[in-house]
Amino acid sequence: MKKSILVLLAVFMMLGSRADEGMWIPMLIGKNYDEMVRMGLRLSEEDLYNINHSSMKDAILQFGGGCTAEMISENGLLLTNHHCGYDAIATLSTVDKNLLDNGFFAHNLKEELPAQGVTALFLVSMEDVTKKVKEAVGNASGEEFNKKFEAFAKETEEKSAEKGKYVANVKSYFNGNQFFLIIYKRYTDVRLVGNPPKSLGKFGGETDNWMWPRHTCDFSMFRVYADENNQPKAYSISNVPYHTKKFLPVSAAGVKEGDFAMIFGYPGRTNRYEVSYGVDLSVNVTNPSIVACRDLRLNIMHRHMLASKVTYLQLTSLYARIANYWKYFIGQTEQLKRLNVIDKKRKGEDAFSAWERENHLDNGLLAKFSKIYADYTPYAKHSVYYSECFRASALARMASSMKPLYDAYERHANDKQGISKDTLDKYINMAKSGYRSNTKEFDLGTEKEMLAEMTELYYNNVPKEQLPDIYAKVILKGKKEGTKKIYSDYSAYVFSHTFFADSNKFMSFCKAPSYAKLKSDAAFQYALSYVTNYTKNYQPKVEAFSIQKADLARQYLKEIMEQKNFKNMYPDANSTMRVTYGKVQSYDPQDGVHFKYYTTMDGLMAKYKPNDEEFDVPTDLVSLYKAKDYGRWADADGSLHTDFLTTDDITGGNSGSPVINGNGELIGAAFDGNWEAMSGDIAFDKKYKRTIVCDIRYILFVVDKLGHADNLIKEMDIRE
Give the residue numbers marked as catalytic: 83, 218, 655
Nearest approach in angstroms of CB 142 to ligand ARG is 34
Please identify, using beta-carbon distances, which residue of 210 and 545 lies nearer to ligand ARG. Answer: 210
Strand-pair category, 77-80 with 220-226: antiparallel
Nearest approach in angstroms of CB 103 to ligand ARG is 17
Tell whether residue 209 is a contact of ligand ARG (CB under 6 A).
Answer: yes
Please identify, using beta-carbon distances, which residue of 256 and 609 lies nearer to ligand ARG. Answer: 609
Binding flags for ligand ARG, 7-36, as an x/- string (CB under 6 A)? ------------------------------
Please identify, using beta-carbon distances, which residue of 584 and 669 lies nearer to ligand ARG. Answer: 669
Tell whether residue 206 is a contact of ligand ARG (CB under 6 A).
Answer: yes
Distances in Å between the Cα of 599 and the Cα atoms of 468, 635, 692 are 52, 11, 11
Give the 3-state secondary structure percentages of the chain, helix then strand then coil, rounded to 5: 50, 15, 35
Smallest Cα–Cα separation from 121: which of 72, 190, 40, 199?
A: 190
Binding flags for ligand ARG, 131-170, as an x/- string (CB under 6 A)? ----------------------------------------
- Which residue type occupies 80? T
Please identify, using beta-carbon distances, which residue of 81 and 160 lies nearer to ligand ARG. Answer: 81
In order, the DSSP letters of 601-664 are HHHHHHH--TT-TTT---HHHHHHHHTT--GGGS-TTSSPEEEEEE-----TT-TTPEEE-TTS
Among 446, 574, 599, 655, binds ligand ARG (CB under 6 A): 655
User: Of residues 321-350, which lie at the interface with ligand ARG (CB under 6 A)?
Assistant: 323-324
**CB-side exposure of 501: number of CA atoms within 13 Å?**
19
Is 536 buried (19+), middle (13-18) or exposed (0-12) by CB count in 10 A? exposed
Cβ neighbors of 18 (< 8 A, separation 6 or more) are 684, 686
User: Of residues 254-313, which lie at the interface with ligand ARG (CB under 6 A)?
Assistant: none
Helix (H) or strand (E) holding 223: strand 220-226
Q: Give the separation between CA 71 and CA 56, rounded to whole angstroms.
A: 10
Distances in Å between the Cα of 554 and the Cα atoms of 37, 177, 284, 365, 546 are 34, 6, 25, 11, 12
Tell whether residue 205 is a contact of ligand ARG (CB under 6 A).
Answer: yes
Smallest Cα–Cα separation from 266: which of 443, 26, 486?
A: 26
Among 22, 63, 71, 83, binds ligand ARG (CB under 6 A): 83
Tell whether residue 195 is a contact of ligand ARG (CB under 6 A).
Answer: no
Please identify, using beta-carbon distances, which residue of 55 and 80 lies nearer to ligand ARG. Answer: 80
**Piece of 44-52, 131-139, 205-213, 454-462 that binds ligand ARG (CB under 6 A):** 205-213
**Piece of 228-236, 317-325, 351-359, 461-469 that binds ligand ARG (CB under 6 A):** 317-325
Among 70, 672, 681, 695, binds ligand ARG (CB under 6 A): 672
Nearest approach in angstroms of CB 83 to ligand ARG is 4
Among 202, 272, 397, 403, binds ligand ARG (CB under 6 A): 202
Q: Give CA torsion, residues 46, 47, 52, 58, to 10 deg.
A: -150
**Piece of 31-39, 202-210, 506-514, 696-704 that binds ligand ARG (CB under 6 A):** 202-210
Q: Give the separation between CA 692 and CA 211, rounded to whole angstroms.
A: 9
Please identify, using beta-carbon distances, which residue of 672 and 695 lies nearer to ligand ARG. Answer: 672
Tell whether residue 214 is a contact of ligand ARG (CB under 6 A).
Answer: no
Q: Are 399 and 304 in contact (CB under 8 A)?
A: no
Q: Give the separation between CA 526 and CA 529, rounded to whole angstroms.
A: 6
**Piece of 45-53, 188-196, 199-207, 371-379 that binds ligand ARG (CB under 6 A):** 199-207
Q: Give the separation between CA 464 and CA 462, rounded to whole angstroms.
A: 6
Angle at 55 between CA 52 and CA 57, to 5 degrees: 100
Smallest Cα–Cα separation from 124: which of 69, 53, 193, 184?
A: 184
Nearest approach in angstroms of CB 36 to ligand ARG is 25
Please identify, using beta-carbon distances, which residue of 649 and 672 lies nearer to ligand ARG. Answer: 672
Tell whether residue 449 is a contact of ligand ARG (CB under 6 A).
Answer: no
Tell whether residue 652 is a contact of ligand ARG (CB under 6 A).
Answer: yes
Please identify, using beta-carbon distances, which residue of 80 and 209 lies nearer to ligand ARG. Answer: 209
**Piece of 203-211, 306-314, 413-421, 554-562 that binds ligand ARG (CB under 6 A):** 203-211
Tell whether residue 685 is a contact of ligand ARG (CB under 6 A).
Answer: no
322: number of Cβ within 10 Å: 18
Please identify, using beta-carbon distances, which residue of 118 and 553 lies nearer to ligand ARG. Answer: 118
In order, the DSSP letters of 543-587 are HHHHHHHHHHHHHHHHHHHHHTTTTT--PPP-SS-EEEEEEB--E
Tell whether residue 679 is a contact of ligand ARG (CB under 6 A).
Answer: no
Tell whether residue 701 is a contact of ligand ARG (CB under 6 A).
Answer: no
Q: Are 17 and 569 in contact (CB under 8 A)?
A: yes
Secondary structure (H, E, C), 135-172: HHHCCCCHHHHHHHHHHHHHHHHHHHCCCCCCEEEEEE
Q: Is the dihedral of CA 206, 341, 288, 64 positive or negative?
A: negative
**Piece of 204-212, 221-229, 254-262, 571-579 that binds ligand ARG (CB under 6 A):** 204-212
Please identify, using beta-carbon distances, which residue of 206 and 350 lies nearer to ligand ARG. Answer: 206
Which residues contact ligand ARG by CB under 6 A?
A: 83, 202, 205-206, 209-210, 320, 323-324, 652, 655, 671-672
